[in-house]
Amino acid sequence: MRLRTPRGRHALALFGAAVLVLVGPPLLTTGDGGDTGTQIPGLRFMVPNTPGGGYDITARTAAKNAEDAGLTHNIEVFNLPGAGGTVGLSRLVGEHGNGRLAMSMGLGVVGAVRSNDAPKTLADTTPIARLTEEQDVVVVAKDSPYRTIDDLIGAWKERPGKLPVGGGSAPGGPDHLAPMLMARAAGIAPRDVNYIPFDGGGELLASILGDKVAFGVSGVGEYLDQIRAGELRLLAVTGPERVTGLDAPTLQEAGYDVNFTNWRGIVAPPGLTDAERAKLTRLIEKLHDSPEWRQSLKQNGWDDAFLTGEKFGEFLEAQDERVVSVLKELGL
Amino acid sequence: MDALTSLLDGFGTALTPVNILWAAVGVLLGTAIGVLPGIGPAMAVALLLPVTYGLDPIGAFIMFAGIYYGAMFGGSTTSILLNTPGESAAVVAAMEGNPMARSGRGAQALAAAAIGHFAGGMVGTVLLVALAPTVAELAVGIGAPDYFAIMVLAFIAVTSVLGSSRVRGLASLLIGLTIGLVGLDQMTGQQRLTFGSLQLADGVDVVIVAVGLFAIGEALWVAAHLRRGPGEPIPVGRPWLGRSDLRRTWKSWLRGPFIGFPFGAIPAGGAEIPTFLSYVTEKRLSKHRDEWGKGAIEGVAGPESAASASAAGTLVSMLTLGLPTTAVAAVMLAAFQQYGIQPGPLLFEHEPDLVWGLIASLFVGMVLLLALNLPLAPLWAKLLRIPRPYLYAGIMFFAAVGAYAVGGEVIDLVILLVIGLIGLGMRRYGLPVLPAVIGVILGPGAEQQLRRALQISDGSVTGLVNTPFAVTVYAVIVVLLAWPLLKRLAARARTARSV
Amino acid sequence: MTTPPTGTPHSTGTPHPTGTPHPTDTPPAPAADRGSWLRNHSELGVCVLLLALGVLVLTDALTMDVDIAQRGPVGPRTVPVVVGAGLLLIAALLAVDVLRGGRGQAEAGEDVDLSEPADWRTVLLLTGVFLGSAVLIEPLGFPAAGALLFWGAAFALGSRRHDRDPLVAAVLSLVTYAVFNNLLGVPLPGGPLMGVL
C-alpha cells in the first residue's frame, strides 16, 4: 500500500479546494477605493418585482442616470419579485445596517404589505426619498359609447356589475384602489364594483382595446402613446391637476371627490449610521438635480415629486394609514 | 409591397458591418447566458441591458433581438443535455431531447433544436412582416372566453401524454394542478396553500417544478438504481442529422411556427402552451409512435420551432401596439423607453428606420444563430461523456444554482428538493412526470381565464361561449372527442353490412 | 439545522449484500408474510399520499374565508375544491387498481439498473448533501456550499478520486460564482472571509 503519497495528495487537494472557495470570493470582489463624494462602491438597487415592471424601470433608469452623470460607478440592479414586493421588502429589512443596498418601491408595496399581512412593513426601513409621481388615467376604447366621465359614471352607477373595470394590479394595488375610490365618490358600494385584475398594463391594454372591459384604470405613462394615437379615449385623470398635453378633466373637476396619485421612491435597510444615510440621500439628491434625470422624467411621463428623509418617512406613514382605511372599507 | 420596400431598407441598416457585429455579439452572449441555470430570456435581456448603453438605439435593439433568440436557444441546450430546462419554453424539449442525448444522439437533438429555432424564427418573422397590423388587431380581439376554450383544448390534449396507465397519468396531472394552486389567488388575492409563507405567495415557478421533477428526480432515481461496474460512456454517435432524421423533421419544423406564432402575438399567450400543443400534435402525426418518450426527434424539432416563432409573435404585439405579451417584451419595452422611444401604434410612423432595421436584423440574427450553434452541437454533446458521478453531481449543482442564484432564497432549494423527491416517488411507482408539469402550466392559466370570463359577463355562464372563436374551438373539441366514437360506428356499420 | 449523514466510504461503493428493498412509506411489519404483502403493495403508499394531499387541499379551500366580494359563480375556492375532490377520487381508483394487481412500471433508463434492489442509502446521502449545502450557503458562502454539493453528490454516486474531486468541485463552484457575481451582477454570498481580506 502506498500510504504517504495518496493521503498527502488527498489532503493537498482538500486544502487547495478550501483555499479556493474561501479566499477566492473576496479576491474576486473588486477593490473598494474612491469612497468619496457621492461615490458608493458596490451599491446595489433591489427591484421587488419582475424585469420590465414599474419599479424595475424606475430603478434601472435611476441607476443609468446616476452613472451617466458620473455620480457613482456601476450600480447593480437586481430583481427579487414576490408577493407584490413584500418578499423583497423582508429581504431588505433583513439586511440590517447594509449601507450599500437600496430598494425601489411605491404605493403598490404599501398596499401589498397590508393585503398580504406581511411581517415586515415599510416602517422597518430607512426611508431615503420619494422620486416620482404618476397619475392614474381612466380610459376607454376609441369606439366605446362613453364619451365623457359623466357618461361613464352614470352608466356605472346604474349597473355596476355589468361594467367590468380592468386594472393592472392585484387587489390592494394602485390600479385597484383608484377605481374603488372613484366608486366611493360616485356612491357605488365597493362590493358592487366588478374589478378585474390583469398582469400589468400590457394585458390590460389588450382588454381595453378589445372592449373586454368597460373601462380601464392605469398609470398615465403606460398609455401615453395609445392616447395620442387615438386608440384609447382618455376620460379623466385621478390626480389633483390636469396632465399637461392631455385633454381631460381631473375627477375633482368633474365633481367626484377623488385625489389619487401613484408614486415611487427609494428605501434602504434599517440600522444605517447617520453618515451612511446622509451619503445615500446625497447621491439621490444629486441624481435628482442631474439633467439626465430631468430628461428621463420627461420621457417616461413621470412627475417630479422629490421628498427626502423625515418628510418622506411621514409621507409613508400617512399613505399606510390611508391604504389601511380604504382596504378596511372595502372589506379586504 | 410597401412593407417589402421598407424591409429592404431595413436590411440596408441591419447589414452594415457594425450592426452585424452587434447581432453576432448579442446571439453569442444570449446563448451563453441562456445556458446558465435559472436565467431565462427576460433575465438575460435585463442583465445585459447595461452592455448596450453605449450603443445607438438601432445597434442596441439589434443586439437585444440577438440576445432574445440566443437566450431562448441556450435554454433548450441544457434542457436537452442535462434534463434541466433553463426556462419554461424549453421544458417540453427535455421530454424527447434528453432521451436522445442519453442514447448518443445529443448532437442530432441539438441540431434539430437549432434548425427548429431557425425555421421558427424565419417563418415567424416573415409572418411578422406580412401580417403585423392584421395580427395585432386580431390579437386584441382575443379575450378570456377564447383563452379558456384553448385551455380546455389543451387539457383534452393532455390525455395523449398520460402514458400507459390512465389512472397514474391523472394522478400525476392532479399533483401538478395542486402545485399550481399554491400562491395568492390571482383574482382576489386570497392565500392558497401558502401556509403563511411569503415566498410561496407567487406560487412555485414552473421552471423549478420542471427542474425538480426532471433533473433532481432523475438524479435521485439514478442514485437508487445506479448501474454499478465499469459503466460504458454515452456513445457519441454521428455528429450530424442523417437523411432519415431530416425526412422526419422537416414537416415538424414547418408546422411549429403556425402553432407558436399566434400564441406569441396574443396578450396572454406565451411559449409554454404552444410548445406543449406542438409536442402533442407531432406525437399524433408521427409515424414512429413507439419512439416517443425514448427520443423521438420530431418531439424536439416541432416544439423548438414553435417556441422560436412565438418569440417573433411577441414582437408583433410589442412593436405595433406597445403591448408586452411576455416578460422579455416588457423588458425590451422598458429598454425602448430608456432611449426615449415609445413602442405603440405610432412607432412604425415615427421610427421606421429603427423598426425595419430591427426586423431585418431578426433575419440576420437567425442566420447567425444557426451558423454559430450548428457546429457547436457535437461539441456540446461531448459534455455527456464525463464520468457518471460527475454528470449527476453536475446536474444537481446546476439545478441548485438555477433555483438559488436569482432569488437568493434558501427556501427555493428546499422546495426544489421536495419536488425532486416527489419526482423520485413518481419514477418508482410509474407515474409519468410530464402531466404534472403540464398541470402546473395549464392549471393557473385556465382558472384565471375562466374566472375572468365569468366576471366580465357578471356571472353569466354564457360569457364562456359568447365569441365565435370560443365556439369554434369547442366545436373542434367535440369533433376530436367524438372522432373515435364515429370511427367505431362507421366500422360497425361496415361490418354489419358485410355480414 | 440538518447535518448531512456521513456514510462510511466503502459502503456505497460496492453493492451491499443486505440490500433489501425498503418501501418508502410502509413501516416494517413483524410477520414475514404480512411484510411481503405490504412490500408487494407498497404502491398503496402513493394512494395514502394522494389522499392526504386531497384532504389538505380541501381543508385549505374550505377554511379560506371568502368574505370579499366574490363575483360570479366561480370563486377562489371552486378550483381547489374540484382538484381536492379529484385527488380523493384518484386515490381511491389507484387503490382499487393496485389491489386488483395493477403495478406502476418503475421507470427504466440508460443509467438505471432495475435488476438490483433499490439503494436507498445513496438517495438518503444525496438528499442530505443537498439539504446540508442549502443550509450552509448563508454561513459559508456560495462557492464553499456549491463545492460541497458537487463533491458530496459525486461521492454519494461512487466517485472516489479524493485527489481530484474536491478541486474539480471548487473550481466549478468558484467559476460559477464569478460568472454570476462579477460578470452578470447577480449577487451571491461570498463567505466568511468577505470584508476580512
What confidence score (pLDDT) does residue C126 get?
Answer: 92
- pLDDT-above-90 percentage for chain A: 11
pLDDT at position C3 over 60? no
pLDDT at position C19 over 70? no
pLDDT at position C121 over 70? yes
Report, as an integer, the average pLDDT of B102-108: 84
pLDDT at position B96 over 80? yes
Residue type, B177: L
Whole-number Å distance between alpha carbons of A145 and B188: 29
pLDDT band at C24 (very low <50, low <70, confident <90, very high): very low
3-class SS of residue A117: coil
What confidence score (pLDDT) does residue B17 get?
Answer: 87
Q: What is the dihedral of CA B293, B296, B298, B302, to 10 degrees?
A: 40
- Bridge partners of A138, per DSSP, are A217, A236
pLDDT in tens, B54-67: 778 888 888 888 88
pLDDT at position C71 over 90? no
Exposure string for A178-191, b = 16+ CB within 10 A, e = fewer: bbbbbbbbbebebe
ipTM confidence score: 0.80
Report, as an integer, the average pLDDT of A266-286: 88
pLDDT band at C57 (very low <50, low <70, confident <90, very high): very high
- Bridge partners of A263, per DSSP, are A133
Q: Where are the alpha helices (DSSP H) in C100-184?
A: 120-140, 142-156, 165-178
Which chain B residues touch A169 with a CB distance below 8 Å?
A: none
CB contact under 8 A, A200 and B324: yes
Q: Are B113 and B76 contacting, i.e. CB atoms less than 8 angstroms apart?
A: yes
Report, as an integer, the average pLDDT of B128-147: 81
Report, as an integer, the average pLDDT of B447-470: 87
pLDDT at position B490 over 60? yes
C-alpha cell at A159: 349597473
Asked if A228 is an interface residue toward chain B (Cβ–Cβ < 8 A), one would say yes
Interface probe with B: pick from C105, C122, C138, most Cβ of B within 10 Å: C105
What confidence score (pLDDT) does residue C9 get?
Answer: 39
Average per-residue pLDDT for chain B: 83
Asked if A97 is an interface residue toward chain C (Cβ–Cβ < 8 A), one would say no
Q: Where are the alpha helices (DSSP H) in chain A?
A: 4-28, 54-68, 86-94, 107-115, 149-158, 174-186, 200-209, 220-228, 274-289, 291-300, 309-330
Of B396-410, C25-39, C71-85, the poorest mean pLDDT is in C25-39
pLDDT at position B499 over 60? no
Which DSSP symbol is given to B78? H
What confidence score (pLDDT) does residue B421 get?
Answer: 94
Q: Which residue has the higher pLDDT, B56 or C73?
A: B56
Dihedrals phi, psi of A132, to nearest 5 degrees: -135, 160
Q: Are C152 and A2 contacting, i.e. CB atoms less than 8 angstroms apart?
A: no
Name the residue with cell 408586452.
B324
Q: Counting Cβ atoms within 10 Å, is residue A86 exposed (0-12), middle (13-18) or buried (19+)?
A: buried
Q: Are B204 and B440 contacting, i.e. CB atoms less than 8 angstroms apart?
A: yes
Name the residue with cell 440577438.
B66
What confidence score (pLDDT) does residue C33 get?
Answer: 67
Residue type, A224: L
Give the Å distances, CA to CA, from C67 to A191, A195, C75: 10, 16, 11
- State the smallest CA–CA distance between residue B323 and chain A in angstroms: 5
pLDDT in tens, B211-235: 889 889 988 988 888 766 555 556 6
Of A65-69, A249-253, B275-279, B493-497, the poorest mean pLDDT is in B493-497
What confidence score (pLDDT) does residue C15 get?
Answer: 39
Give the Å distances, CA to CA, from A77 to B43, B48, C182: 11, 11, 13
Of C73, C80, C113, the CB nearest to B225: C113
3-class SS of residue B352: helix
Average per-residue pLDDT for chain A: 84
Give the Å distances, CA to CA, from B381 to A159, B40, B69, B248, C58: 63, 21, 21, 21, 46
Which residues of C sit within 8 Å Cβ distance of A? 67-69, 71, 141-144, 146-147, 151, 162-167, 169-171, 173-174, 177-178, 181-182, 185-187, 190-197
Which DSSP symbol is given to A52? T
Give the Å distances, CA to CA, from B31 to A263, B14, B205, B303: 37, 20, 22, 18
Report, as an integer, the average pLDDT of C59-65: 84
Whole-number Å distance between alpha carbons of A136 and A248: 12
The secondary structure element, H or E, covering residue B101 is none
C-alpha cell at C66: 371568502
CB contact under 8 A, A23 and C197: yes
pLDDT band at A277 (very low <50, low <70, confident <90, very high): confident
Asked if A77 is an interface residue toward chain C (Cβ–Cβ < 8 A), one would say yes
What confidence score (pLDDT) does residue C1 get?
Answer: 36
pLDDT at position A130 over 70? yes
pLDDT at position C27 over 50? no
C-alpha cell at A263: 408614486
Which chain C residues touch A81 with a CB distance below 8 Å?
A: none
The secondary structure element, H or E, covering residue A308 is strand A303-308
Q: Are A218 and A53 contacting, i.e. CB atoms less than 8 angstroms apart?
A: no
Whole-number Å distance between alpha carbons of B5 and B346: 19
Closest by CA to A99, choosing from A282, A265, A270, is A270
Dihedrals phi, psi of B88, to nearest 5 degrees: -65, -30
Dihedrals phi, psi of C120, to nearest 5 degrees: -70, -20
pLDDT band at C54 (very low <50, low <70, confident <90, very high): very high
Q: Are B422 and B213 contacting, i.e. CB atoms less than 8 angstroms apart?
A: yes
Q: Are B173 and B159 contacting, i.e. CB atoms less than 8 angstroms apart?
A: no
C-alpha cell at A322: 390611508
CB contact under 8 A, C165 and A13: yes
Whole-number Å distance between alpha carbons of B366 and B369: 5
Q: Are B461 and C74 contacting, i.e. CB atoms less than 8 angstroms apart?
A: no
What confidence score (pLDDT) does residue A33 get?
Answer: 46
- Bridge partners of A102, per DSSP, are A45
C-alpha cell at A300: 417616461
What confidence score (pLDDT) does residue C67 get?
Answer: 58
Number of residues that make up chain B = 499
Handedness of CA B89, B95, B101, B102 (dihedral sign): positive
- pLDDT-above-70 percentage for chain C: 76
Average per-residue pLDDT for chain C: 77
- State the smallest CA–CA distance between residue A52 and chain B in angstroms: 4
Whole-number Å distance between alpha carbons of B477 and B154: 10
Asked if A194 is an interface residue toward chain B (Cβ–Cβ < 8 A), one would say yes
Q: Are A259 and A96 contacting, i.e. CB atoms less than 8 angstroms apart?
A: no
Whole-number Å distance between alpha carbons of B10 and B276: 34
Dihedrals phi, psi of A122, to nearest 5 degrees: -70, -20
Whole-number Å distance between alpha carbons of A114 and A326: 11
Whole-number Å distance between alpha carbons of A109 and A173: 8
pTM of the model: 0.82
Whole-number Å distance between alpha carbons of B166 and A287: 62
What confidence score (pLDDT) does residue C17 get?
Answer: 39
pLDDT in tens, B145-161: 888 998 888 888 887 77
Give the Å distances, CA to CA, from B215 to A239, A241, C151: 51, 56, 18
pLDDT at position B330 over 80? no
Dihedrals phi, psi of B300, to nearest 5 degrees: -95, -45
What confidence score (pLDDT) does residue C187 get?
Answer: 76
What confidence score (pLDDT) does residue C7 get?
Answer: 38
What confidence score (pLDDT) does residue C6 get?
Answer: 39
Whole-number Å distance between alpha carbons of B252 and B120: 10
pLDDT at position A224 over 70? yes
Whole-number Å distance between alpha carbons of C130 and B420: 11
C-alpha cell at B328: 422579455
Which chain B residues touch A171 with a CB distance below 8 Å?
A: 187-189
Closest by CA to B153, choosing from B486, B461, B485, B480, is B480
3-class SS of residue A45: strand
Whole-number Å distance between alpha carbons of B199 and B187: 19
Chains that touch A (3 or more CB pairs under 8 A): B, C
C-alpha cell at B352: 421606421
pLDDT in tens, C145-192: 999 999 999 988 888 888 888 888 999 999 888 888 877 777 788 888
Whole-number Å distance between alpha carbons of A235 and A262: 18
Q: Which residue has the higher pLDDT, A296 or C128?
A: C128
CB contact under 8 A, C150 and B185: no
Q: Are B227 and C113 contacting, i.e. CB atoms less than 8 angstroms apart?
A: yes
Q: Are A181 and A253 contacting, i.e. CB atoms less than 8 angstroms apart?
A: no
